[in-house]
Amino acid sequence: MKRKRIAILFGGCSSEYEVSLQSAYAVITHMDMEKYEVVLIGIDKMGAWYRYQGEYEDILNDNWKQKETCIPAVVSPDKNLHGVLLLADSGVEKLPLDGALPVLHGRNGEDGTVQGVLELADIPVIGCDTMSSAVCMDKEAAHRLAKASGVKVPDSYVLTRTNPQDEKQIMAYGEDLGYPLFVKPLRAGSSFGITKVTEPDNLMAAVEHGFAYDSQVILEEMIEGFEVGCAILGTEELTVGAVDEIELSEGFFDYTEKYTLKSSKIHVPARISNEKQQEIRRTAIKIYRSLGCSYFARVDMFLTPEGEIYFNEVNTIPGFTAHSRYPNMLKEIGISFEEILSKLLEMVKDAGL
């Protein structure tokens, strides 16, 4: 049986470049190489694409970009090829693909830009499509759609750098939301640029900090309680992992906490009743469907002391190491890391390719 040729995209010009390398290494080393031919596409921090043919460990230690192991590559606009062009010294080589799995976190990887390029070339995207990725990255758009489907969302206001509200209006927004509140870049991943504001005197500085990461920022009500997450796998028929819980001893779950867990713990399953877990899973499915997600995503929510569930965000390409939240939630219901990847790649086959 001919192996399907699957591209794994890693790196990217994103502040989460290093995390992508870790996730991609885990994916590559857990794939069934007897069933699939893997084409590694590395994207450097400046956005240049290369076909990488070196050792996997050099991806992990960020030593992959070497002349002898990399060939410049571009996505071909030819839909009949549905692949990439390798710009080798000997000439241009065509490399058709059966699918591409972007393992790219944050901006320029999780926001629909890469997905759009792949879809234009008629390369099947293993993951959320262009529209869903863009919507999930935009916090206001995601919240509007979730709210329209009947899910509670935090109150919020959006500020735009090109049409800035004056300080008096921004302070009025803060007063309306109440303190503490959060100021977040509207379209940035993994908690970059987020500030928890506990008093009015610090609001304007937090807004300026958020604008350093995006041209729009969102002022968001703080929801009392703790964060819970739900891993979802599938497009038509969905598999929902166990609910996890983030226990914080201080601050909030920012980028440092996500990858060091210095003052936090993650509990799988969450320390809540089975009935509440089932309600959270149903809510996660509703959000996943309403935002048009496909293949896989992690839906993050808040659970209040009163037992109310609020939507937080959807990670369309969550951390994908063997120790990340997404695979651990599925592991809790008996699905191994290898099985997750097999199921994802089998969906490409089911799409009729």
| pTM (two decimals) | 0.92
The pLDDT of residue 14 is 87
The pLDDT of residue 353 is 43
* Rounded CA separation 218/229 (Å): 22
Strands of the chain, DSSP E: 4-11, 36-43, 49-52, 70-75, 83-88, 91-96, 99-102, 156-160, 181-185, 195-197, 216-221, 226-233, 239-240, 244-248, 264-267, 296-303, 309-315
Secondary structure class of 5 (helix, strand, coil) = strand
Cβ neighbours of residue 58 closer than 8 Å, sequence gap 6 or more: 64, 66, 69
* Rounded CA separation 197/157 (Å): 15
Secondary structure class of 65 (helix, strand, coil) = coil
Domains, the chain, ranges and CATH?
Answer: 4-126 (3.40.50.20), 135-152+224-350 (3.30.470.20), 156-221 (3.30.1490.20)
The pLDDT of residue 264 is 72
Q: Sign of dihedral through CA atoms 276, 281, 284, 286?
A: negative
Residues 97-124 pLDDT 10s:
999 999 999 888 999 999 999 999 999 9
Secondary structure class of 81 (helix, strand, coil) = coil
The pLDDT of residue 260 is 46
Query: Cα-flanking dihedrals φ and ψ of residue 251, to 5°?
Result: 60, -145
Cβ neighbours of residue 334 closer than 8 Å, sequence gap 6 or more: none
The pLDDT of residue 231 is 98
The pLDDT of residue 198 is 96
Tally of CB atoms within 10 A around 46:
6
Q: Taking the mean position of all CA atoms in its chain, how far away is CA 119?
A: 18
- List the chain pLDDT tens, one digit each, 353 residues: 689 999 999 999 988 899 999 999 999 999 999 999 999 999 999 999 999 999 999 999 999 999 999 999 999 999 999 999 999 999 999 999 999 999 999 888 999 999 999 999 999 999 999 999 999 999 999 999 999 999 999 999 999 988 767 899 999 999 999 999 999 999 976 567 899 999 999 999 999 999 999 999 999 999 999 999 999 999 999 999 999 999 976 554 444 445 445 557 999 999 999 999 999 999 999 999 999 999 999 999 999 999 999 999 999 999 998 789 999 999 999 999 999 999 999 998 644 34
